[in-house]
Amino acid sequence: MEHSESKPLEQELSRLIVQTLKLKIDPATIQPDAALFGDGLGLDSIDALELSLAISQTYGYQLKSSDPDIKAIFSSLRALANAIVKNRTK
C-alpha cells in the first residue's frame, strides 16, 4: 500500500529537492535508490536543514536527528518518500 503511494510522491519530492536546493538537474534523473548526500547528489548538512524545512512546510513532517532511522531516512529519495508517507500530517 505504502509502496504504491510512494511513486508519485517520489516524483513530487524530487521536484521539491531540485527547487529547494537550486540543483541544475532534471528532477526525473534523481534515481530513487541513489544516495542523496556524500557521493550521490553531494548534499551537505546545510542542504539537509533547508530540505527539512521544505518537507515540514509541505508535508507537516518535522525531521529529527535523534530519530534512530535518520541516516536511513536521508539515504535515498525512496527512503525519504517512505518516511514522509508514514509521518505526514498534511
Binding site for another protein (CB under 8 A): 18-19, 21-27, 42, 44-46, 48-50, 52-53, 56-57, 62-66
Least gap, CB of 26 to another protein (angstroms): 5
CB neighbours (10 Å) of residue 80? 26
Residue with smaller CB distance to another protein, 4 or 29? 29
Least gap, CB of 40 to another protein (angstroms): 11
Least gap, CB of 6 to another protein (angstroms): 22
